[in-house]
């Protein structure tokens, strides 16, 4: 965890690798670390993937808040990938709100399909999205309604 605490630079990728490793480990210290980074870091998206193994009930509120505040198309795509990882590893109906926020902000067919699959798997796909995906640009996403 000491490596993950270092300042992230483009020349030193050890922090990136450490964060990637932490997403596979679960502990109270790691969870506290990630929550601190999410609440106090300028680039909180860099740390979100640690929640893959350290997600707890109620974290959806935090993830929804982050999704609501994010407007950059690039960052929305990043969040979609990370949130998909989190909710594939943590099956919960709580995924509905944060994933729907991202779904409504994004235009990437690949991530949109992944979000819809997770919503279906958790049995929380809204009627609104269900009716929309019939007309999705991605054929595979359209097939999800059948």
- Cα–Cα distance, 11 to 132 (Å, whole number): 44
The last residue of one of the domains, among 28, 54, 80, is: 54
Residue 48 and residue 59 share a domain: no
Residue 80 and residue 43 share a domain: no
Q: Mean pLDDT score of the chain, rounded to an integer?
A: 91
- Cα–Cα distance, 142 to 44 (Å, whole number): 33
Residue 98 and residue 28 share a domain: no
Tens of pLDDT along 29-72?
999 999 999 999 888 999 999 999 999 999 999 999 999 999 99
Residue 82 and residue 48 share a domain: no
Which residues form the domain of 116?
A: 55-146
Residue 144 and residue 106 share a domain: yes
pTM for the full predicted model: 0.91
């Amino acid at each position: 965890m000491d490596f993950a605490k270092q300042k992230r630079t483009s020349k030193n990728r050890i922090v990136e690798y450490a964060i990637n490793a932490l997403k596979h480990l679960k502990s109270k210290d790691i969870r506290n670390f990630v929550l601190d980074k999410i609440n106090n870091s300028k680039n909180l998206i860099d740390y979100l993937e640690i929640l893959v193994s350290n997600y707890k009930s109620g974290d959806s509120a935090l993830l929804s808040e982050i999704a609501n505040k994010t407007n950059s198309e690039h960052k929305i795509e990043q969040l979609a990938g990370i949130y998909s990882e989190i909710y594939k590893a943590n099956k919960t109906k709580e995924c509905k709100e944060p994933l729907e926020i991202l779904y409504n902000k994004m235009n990437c067919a690949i991530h949109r399909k992944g979000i819809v699959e997770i919503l279906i798997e958790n049995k929380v796909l809204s009627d609104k999205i269900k009716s929309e995906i019939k007309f999705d640009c991605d054929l595979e996403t359209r097939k999800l309604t059948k």
